Amino acid sequence: MLLLRPIRPYSRILASQFHSSRVTWARKLKEFKLADIGEGITECEVIKWNVKPSGTVQIFDPLCEVQSDKASVEITSPFDGVLKDILVKEGDIAKVGSGLCVIEVDEDASTASAPTETTSGSAAPVKTEIRTSSVAATHEPPQQQTLSQQGLTFASRPASQGRLHPLDPRAAGSQDRDVLATPSVRHYARQKGVHVALVAPGSGKGGRIEKIDVDAFLAGPPTLDEHAPTPSSAHTDEDVIVELGRTRHNMWKAMTKSLEIPQFGFTTKIDLTALHEMLPILSAHIPAQYLPPTQLPSPPPIISPASFYASPSPPPVPESARYTRLTYLPFLIKTLSKAMAEWPLFRSSLTSPSSISSSPKPTLAIRPHADISIALSTPTGLYTPTLQRADTLSVYALASRLKHLAHLGRQMPCGLTPAEMPRRGGTITVSNVGGVGDVDACAPVLVPGGGVAIVAVGRAKWMWDVERGDGRGERRLKVGVSWSADHRVVEGAELVAFVEAWRTWLERPQRLIAEGV
């Protein structure tokens, strides 16, 4: 007789050895909030979302771009996951501390008390990888598709051809929205002057750009497919519609608002002959901290002041802020700050009636120092970084700041930050149009928030001045300057008198010696 044993006891053994684990993967919604980006900024406009709802994101992937009054910041994802909801649409204003979006992440349910709970973006980033290979494999930026059809090889395009003018039709497709690269790689590419969109796709996972891809991009000359149509021969009879970029659109809005300001303007010439004679001597004595390493004296002198006592080293100066010769512009700015010290009106800025005073009338805030903005034309548009406390800086320090600002402006994307572009800006703006073309005079436009006046500096030229030399005339170096001022607060006579005060400093630069410059 065959005895059959029940299997129920074994079920307990199996259950103890092959139990179902409580460790499971659960979906969790996390709200990502706009953090404080500094400079007292309380709100920003969302310019562009790089990811659409239901799109996958990885940590450090660019989520969106936000812009304050003058500077833009790229916001990256703190999580790996899926973008479930966008809380602030493009063109809307986001408050600091408010939610930008909701991201669905994968995390261990054994550590999550509520799988569907919405938490703050300040939580620790989850390391779950949820980007599918199929999505990464089919990812190809529009710029890559367009120029590949024209026979251009991206991996060998030099940096000099990597910058496109904002109105170049190819620039519309060279955005960062579809480019995978970590912030460190983006910073490295910016330092090399390379737009990451022109390097994509990279050699990393899912087409992610690595530093070696940037180096390979800079390595060789461009190659052109012989059988591919050249860009100049394609669509020659069709109009090309180009949408205004973010910076140019902001310029469009600012210039439209400038029509609300009644402006008084005039043009005059300033004699730079005395300054021209001093310039070679001053250029020959640029302090060592502002010189490139190749220009430093080598070997150091045997007998030096440091043999008795080594003075503290000056603050380090970045390579982008070093130079070998002076130009006229730092002197124009330095002497302008001297005139501003004499004229408090031109150190003033308009304030809203409710911000400081209870009076319904507009008010002027007089600043203790001269804050001067510089109009800077860059590959991405027009910016106005500010030289704060310009009156406290030497001519050499001003030249260093100007060179560094120009370097930041040439980066792609623009390297200017809120540190160089404070919210309230300068009270006077300087535009060096003479550095671009043969300009004698123009009509600069003053925009709201651009201070009380703006000056456009033309190109210095040698000319014959018949009023000098006892009627015989003399050859003099003169530059044309064109001014516009806010006629609501600045009288025409005040502007002319202020410019005459500036003239006395520029035409007699020896006065700066007595001021300790």
What is the rounded CA–CA span in Å between residue 349 and residue 36? Answer: 26
pLDDT digits (tens, 9 = 90+) for 359-403: 678 889 999 999 999 999 988 788 999 999 999 999 999 999 999
- pLDDT for 296 equals 74
Q: Output the CA–CA distances (angstroms, integers) from residue 11 to 2, 6, 19, 21, 22, in the order listed.
A: 22, 10, 11, 17, 19
* Residue 496 CB neighbours (<10 A): 14
CB neighbour list of residue 471: distance below 8 Å, 6 or more residues apart: none
Global pTM value: 0.59
What is the maximal distance between C-alpha atoms in the chain? 143
Residue 160 has pLDDT above 60, yes or no: no
CATH architecture type of domain 136-231: Irregular (4.10)
Domain 261-296+316-514 sits in CATH at 3.30.559.10
Give the SS3 label for residue 295: helix
Domain-wise residue ranges, the chain: 25-131, 136-231, 261-296+316-514
- Residue 483 DSSP symbol: E
493 confidence band (pLDDT: 50, 70, 90): very high
* Topology of the domain comprising 25-131: OB fold (Dihydrolipoamide Acetyltransferase, E2P) (2.40.50)
309 confidence band (pLDDT: 50, 70, 90): confident
| Mean pLDDT on 254-279 | 93
74 confidence band (pLDDT: 50, 70, 90): confident
Q: Take residue 365 and report the two structure tokens written for it.
A: 């805030």
Please tell me which residue, 175 or 299, carries the higher pLDDT value. Answer: 299
CA 78 from chain center: how many Å? 23
What is the rounded CA–CA span in Å between residue 275 and residue 395? Answer: 13
What is the rounded CA–CA span in Å between residue 221 and residue 155? Answer: 9
- pLDDT for 401 equals 97
Q: Which of 55-64, 102-111, 296-305 shows the lowest mean pLDDT across its residues?
A: 102-111
Q: Which of 83-87, 91-95, 155-159, 335-339 shows the lowest mean pLDDT across its residues?
A: 155-159
Residue 24 has pLDDT above 50, yes or no: no
Give the SS3 label for residue 251: helix
156 confidence band (pLDDT: 50, 70, 90): very low
- pLDDT for 475 equals 95
Residue 469 has pLDDT above 60, yes or no: yes
Dihedral-angle region of residue 40 (phi above 0 means left; psi in -120 to 50 means alpha; beta otherwise)? left
- pLDDT for 503 equals 98
Phi, psi of 85 (to 5 degrees): -150, 140
131 confidence band (pLDDT: 50, 70, 90): very low
Residue 257 has pLDDT above 90, yes or no: no
Please tell me which residue, 323 or 197, carries the higher pLDDT value. Answer: 323
Q: Output the average pLDDT for the chain.
A: 78
pLDDT > 90 in the chain, percent: 37
Do residues 478 and 460 touch, judged by C-beta distance below 8 A? Answer: yes
pLDDT > 70 in the chain, percent: 73
220 confidence band (pLDDT: 50, 70, 90): low
- Nearest CA to 272 out of 497, 458, 82, 47 is that of 458
110 confidence band (pLDDT: 50, 70, 90): very low
* Per-position DSSP letters for 117-153, written without gaps between them: -EEETTSPPP------HHHHHT---HHHHHHHHTTB-
Sign of the four-CA dihedral 495, 500, 503, 504 = negative
Do residues 364 and 348 touch, judged by C-beta distance below 8 A? Answer: yes
CA atoms within 13 A on the CB side of 57: 30
Residue 113 has pLDDT above 80, yes or no: no
355 confidence band (pLDDT: 50, 70, 90): low
Give the SS3 label for residue 477: strand
Across 154-168, 239-253, 266-280, 436-450, which has the greatest mean pLDDT? Answer: 266-280
90 confidence band (pLDDT: 50, 70, 90): confident
Do residues 502 and 336 touch, judged by C-beta distance below 8 A? Answer: yes
| Mean pLDDT on 150-158 | 36
CB neighbour list of residue 280: distance below 8 Å, 6 or more residues apart: none
Residue 234 has pLDDT above 90, yes or no: no
pLDDT digits (tens, 9 = 90+) for 25-36: 467 889 998 887
